[in-house]
Amino acid sequence: MRWELTFRVYVLIFCALFATQILLQAQGGASGTIVGFVKDSTGAIIPKAAVSIRNLGTNLTQSDTTGESGEYSFSYIPPGNYEIRATKTGFRASVVPNVKLDTGATFRVDISLQVGEVSESVEVQATAPIIQTEEASVGHLVEQKRIIELPLNGRKFEQLQMLSPGSVNTFNHQTSAGLDGGASSLQSTSQPTAVATSGSRPSQMLILVDGGSVTNNFGRTATVSPNPDEIAEFKITSSNFSAEYGYGSNVISVSTRSGTNSLHATLWEFFRNKDLTARNFFAALPEPRKRNQYGVAIGGPVELSRLYHGKDKTFWFFDYEGQRERYGRTIISSVPTAQMRRGDLSQLPSRIFDPATTRIDPSAPGGFVRDPFPGNIIPAGRLDQAVGQRFLEWIPLPNQPGFANNNLYTPTEPNDYDHYSYRADHRLTATDWLTFRGSFQGNDFRNSTGPYGPNVKPPYDLGTNPKRGTGSSYVLGWTKNISPTTLSDVRIAYARIGNVISNSAAIPNGTDWTTAAGIQGFGHGVSDVYPSLPQLSFTGFTGIPSNGGFGLADYGNNWEYAANFTFIRGKHSIKTGYAHRRWQQNLTTWGQGAGTFSYTGEYTVNPAARAGTGSGLADYRLSAPFSAGRYIPLG
């Protein structure tokens, strides 16, 4: 199956019509803007004043000159801490030593110059505004300190969305409900989130990393998930955001860390085992669990011995995180006892009736009656051997007392992943910057786990579907100051997600058990394409959860091309841009050719008085399915 959707955002023009200049957020929210007025001590504007900003981490600088209105502007600059310096002949230099610019923010810093010599300087302290007046968007910023220090189960930053007012996690981690539309099968990670903010649906979220979309448009989450030590900060914008985003009721803008002039490295290890885990209600002891999360983040200037010195110019950053986890589960199922397998259903509380004795009820016109099986025992000669006996071999005997919830299985499941990310920043000229980031993540876990395990009839493990999920993201950005009043930001982004779900009940070159059992309507081109055994369900018992050999392969691609331009003309700012986004999905399912059959007890009820009669297991042993289906594989 192949789905494609092309989305184009053409020209977006915003003009400030009043005295205060309005600057929109930089494309994708991965950068920010610093604006302000330069005035003298009386409050009069100072035109032609020289203003420069310097990134305290990388020492990269930009310069601007105030216009006739006395206002300056620096757009498309990465988040970080900046020093702002303003000078004008006849005035002392004014320095704002540390201004923190957040992701997607527009920070106003008005500077006052005092009469004096330029060689003299005055230090000014700037504080973040309590109310954002430069733009109308409503959002919540999560800075690096909280990202790193707040406890996160699995170190998934998406959980921090819950810090935003009006956010609700709709995902049920026990039932995998909350992603709707079968989306849980299209997740590439084992810990998805489905957060709804301000009444929106989880599927309406737009997730940007360094300005490039990593949204899994069909699985409702991210193709790659940066770990906390990789993220500088991120912002959740819930309303009134710029039209340049194109879609989404909520926007998450993530800025990753970059290298600086100093070499910095971080190592970590997070450990969890069963001694730190609560006991499952149905388990006698805490389930086995061992989780190791470990990684490294390192970055600095590019230094190649005597060949190249990248200080103040070229920077790199690398991040790796891995997880190796084995955790136990408690699965309870209902399986037939040895006595029941011989046709003796006297342990059941319901009476079973012989469908072969069905006849018209003389006392109730239009009705029918049947005779009960004496002692609730089906005679040996009536038991079906080809199907009814054959597939009982895949169901274990009970290991707990009773005839319901009488089988306990405690498997240990894998949950592993490796995440790599690398970033390079390079200053081409005083007015040109290049940024590239690449990320890859591979996950191995279970999409589902069967109730019996692999030891009942090796190599089959009914109901178990191992899953391999992969995600990647690449962003290349070029920011250029064409002139002091004209700026551009060009970006190319690509993201890909892949999911492959296999089936432990489908053995390559194995036996076509549906045909071997003599079931008609299958065979060549149907059940032999992906050899497996049929899915059999009988009311009151767990049955044969083979999914008919079902498997899935899903690959999604997301291309994005964007260019933004900002024109500053006097007191006005005009922003125009173009964005082209293309989504593509290639979804293929296989298997299910072995068929599905359900046994509800309909044929062994007493049609004259149905209450307390009939058994799905009895119908199965008599080979009397209530419904059946088949799926012919593609090709």
Pairing state of beta strands 572-590 and 2-9?
Answer: antiparallel
SS3 percent helix, strand, coil of the chain, rounded to 5, is 10, 45, 45
Length reported for the chain: 635
- Tell me the three state secondary structure of residue 526: coil
> How far apart, in whole angstroms, are the C-alpha atoms of residue 493 and residue 472?
11
Instruction: Tell me the HSE value of 501 on the side-chain side, using a 13 A CA sphere.
Output: 25
Q: What is the pLDDT of residue 190?
A: 56
> How far apart, in whole angstroms, are the C-alpha atoms of residue 57 and residue 496?
32
Q: What are the helix and strand counts (H, E) for the chain?
A: 4, 36
- Tell me the three state secondary structure of residue 537: strand
> Which structure tokens are listed for 523?
């065979």
Q: Give pLDDT < 50 ranges for the chain.
A: 1-28, 130, 180-182
Give the position of tokens 């801490």: 81
Q: For the whole model, what pTM was predicted?
A: 0.79
Fold of 25-131: Immunoglobulin-like (2.60.40)
Q: What is the pLDDT of residue 601?
A: 94
Q: Which residues of 339-365 are buried (b: 16+ CB within 10 A; e: fewer)?
A: ebbebbbeebebbbbbbeeeeeeeeee
Q: What is the pLDDT of residue 287?
A: 76
Q: What is the pLDDT of residues 102-136, one digit of tens each?
A: 877 788 889 888 888 766 667 666 555 545 555 65
> How far apart, in whole angstroms, are the C-alpha atoms of residue 322 and residue 267?
12
Question: Which is it for the CA torsion 12, 17, 18, 19, positive or negative?
Answer: positive
Q: What is the pLDDT of residue 618?
A: 96
291 contacts 327 by C-beta, under 8 angstroms: yes
- Tell me the three state secondary structure of residue 391: helix
> How far apart, in whole angstroms, are the C-alpha atoms of residue 86 and residue 113?
8
420 contacts 319 by C-beta, under 8 angstroms: yes
> How far apart, in whole angstroms, are the C-alpha atoms of residue 495 and residue 470?
11
Q: What is the pLDDT of residues 6-30, one digit of tens each?
A: 333 333 333 332 223 333 333 445 6
> How far apart, in whole angstroms, are the C-alpha atoms of residue 236 and residue 253?
7
116 contacts 89 by C-beta, under 8 angstroms: no
Instruction: Tell me the HSE value of 82 on the side-chain side, using a 13 A CA sphere.
Output: 29
Q: Would you kindly state where each structural domain of the chain is located, as residue ranges?
A: 25-131, 139-328+415-448+462-505+549-590, 340-394+507-545+595-635
For 620, other C-beta atoms within 10 Å of its C-beta total 29
Q: What is the pLDDT of residue 248?
A: 67
548 contacts 620 by C-beta, under 8 angstroms: no
Q: What is the pLDDT of residue 13?
A: 31
